[in-house]
Amino acid sequence: MSSSDRIARGWSLAGRLAALLAGLVLAGCFQPLYGPLSADGDIAGELQAIAIDPMPERLGHYLGNELIFALNGTGSKVTPKYRLAINLRENAQTPLFDTVTGYPSAATIIVSADYRLLPAQGGEPIMRGTVTTIASYDRTSQRFANIRAARDAEIRDAKSLADQIRTQIAAGFAGRG
């Protein structure tokens, strides 16, 4: 047995003991986000009670649909307790150029969303935040393929933004209790 094998076996045992000790010490520190131990015990119900304010343009439509599904994927009708207002900023960049043709060979769509969670009756925001996402796509000499690829990148951005917003709002609800 080489010395490296003995060291690896020794660290393995020490590592296991350290992990077990850390697990026991931290066992009471973690709280499930959607579980019964969260703030009011019903984070999913609070998320379902969020109405999404309309957003302009195609990206706003995609994000609105993704948020409706992410917050209330059950399709149940819930009386809104909250309103979610979102301002979107979209920027397209073409960082790579083909040296032969001089046309861009790739593009990146960067989207930032500033959101505010407001009471349905109006008033000061309960939560606010900013999320950003980036999606890249390849460009070709085919014009309609480029348009479709850009649209697919917007859809990927919308899904990522919806997931980030839902997670931040759920964490905010869990932390309020």
Q: Which pLDDT score is estimated for 39?
A: 45
Q: Which pLDDT score is estimated for 3?
A: 54
CATH 2.40.50.140 fits 58-177, yes or no: no
Q: Which pLDDT score is estimated for 175?
A: 80
Inform me whether the pLDDT recorded for 2 exceeds 50: yes
| pTM: predicted TM-score of the whole model, two decimal places | 0.75
**Residue 37 binned pLDDT confidence (cut-offs 50, 70, 90):** very low
Between 88 and 103, the more confident residue is 88
**For the chain, how many helices (H) and strands (E)?**
4, 4
Of 139, 135, 133, 134, nearest to 106 by C-alpha is 139
- In tens, the pLDDT along 79-88 reads 999 999 999 9
Of 135, 117, 133, nearest to 173 by C-alpha is 117
Q: Which pLDDT score is estimated for 132?
A: 97
Per domain, the residue ranges of the chain are: 58-177
Inform me whether the pLDDT recorded for 13 exceeds 60: yes
Inform me whether the pLDDT recorded for 26 exceeds 80: no
Q: Could you tell me if 174 and 43 are in contact, meaning their C-beta atoms sit under 8 angstroms apart?
A: yes
